[in-house]
Chain A
């Protein structure tokens, strides 16, 4: 594992054919930061998360993890990154414990059993540990999926809309968990379009629209007014990006 404390995204673009999903995005984040990616659907949040997770190569530009380039060190970098995707990455046929132990094994965690037990306690699922995930509620799955993403204690955590479909209690619990991770010095990158959550949790936010970074917000309390004004702006470029034939 390569330990790193900074994430630097420098002029990253990614296109699919003639559709530009990301256009010259630059930002950085240091240790103990919760950084928000805000924007409407199709703004490029998921593409950006996939690039940060080393799953997608940028068409141009670089991502550096504490001085290491993503393309140079695929596997050892991935050992320090945790990802919670929109689809949760869980096998519904397996039990909670089996899911955790399988991924702990893939990430070469030293004591697989202890790590899985700790994750189950953390998720509040110790009493349901040996039940199939197929029978879990959305909230339980979400908590399990988060602990699965954290099982190897990553330095960088990437979350794609983690609050979708959660009730207030689960959302609050998830928020508290993210704040603990921040205390521990992790970098958390969180894609969301929920402004209430964003205001409470984020240290900084970047606002994406049509693949471009349109605003960086350093004060969470200013977020709401900034976001509103950006979303009400007419967009001149949309005429071109809608014409793709793909």
Chain B
């Protein structure tokens, strides 16, 4: 029952996005713009500062992710369809999970383009250890999106939601950003130290578990008025 609702919401979001591609195009292009802005700000004599590539990658993910979250829920506001979802007798946490998976899928797709771009523009060996990189990106994206989906959903009813989303989201997701950047930077080191990666991955997994659980627990009371 729970899984069926998750699947329905996820499939619906996917169909809508495939038809318009609005969020995918704008998110990806925005992420690329972020990368370029950082390139102009940081690159000197044709090279990025050491470890800069990892930071630029994660800042682009965080910024583009906020944009995607805002747009996704703005879409549910247009014909008041979020209200229609809440009116259904379906379990509300299932609606949250469906939305979360949609956002995670979208961000992972954007990262698929971002990683080679950053590697190419900053001569960073990002693709040397693709398995580890994918794991760091996946766990980090889930953590960011878990908090972001809940906040974006509850801000649908609020005024000034566009500016409040990043204001609320960034202070809470600081551990994700630190762990993501440090984990990715460790992958770029010439001599690979699995201990460091294990530490950051463990932190990210714990963050994901704690915040997804909290979001599932609070989604119902936060969405009822």
A contact residues vs B (CB 8 Å cutoff): 1, 53-57, 75-76, 78-79, 81, 83, 85-94, 98, 102-103, 105-108, 132
Contact = CB atoms under 8 A, between A and B. Distances in A.
A93 B16 contact: yes
Given A56-B225, A94-B12, A106-B5, A75 B83 contact: no
Contacts of B19: 93-94, 132
B86 interface: yes
A78 to B, nearest CB: 4
**Main secondary structure on chain A at its contact with chain B?**
loop
Contact of A57 (B1, B85, B87, B225): B225
Contact of B8 (A1, A86, A87, A102): A102
Contacts, number: 73
Given A56-B225, A90-B81, A91-B79, A103 B16 contact: no
A47 B89 CA distance: 20
Contacts of A107: 88-90
A85 B12 contact: no
B74 to A, nearest CB: 13
A83 B225 contact: no
Contact of B91 (A54, A75, A87, A90): A75
Given A87-B79, A91-B12, A106 B90 contact: yes
Contacts of B83: 55, 85, 89
A89 B88 CA distance: 12
A105 B16 CA distance: 17
Nearest to B79: A87
A86 to B, nearest CB: 8
A93 B16 CA distance: 6
Contacts of B20: 93
B84 A98 contact: no
Given A57-B225, A98-B15, A88 B86 contact: no
B87 A83 contact: yes
B79 A75 contact: no
A81 B79 contact: no
What 9 pairs across the A-B complex have the smallest Cβ distances? A89-B84, A87-B80, A79-B89, A106-B88, A93-B16, A93-B19, A78-B89, A75-B89, A105-B8
Contacts of B88: 78, 103, 106-107
A53 B84 CA distance: 11
Nearest to B7: A105
A132 B20 CA distance: 11
A111 to B, nearest CB: 15
A105 B4 contact: yes
B79 A92 contact: yes
A75 B88 CA distance: 8
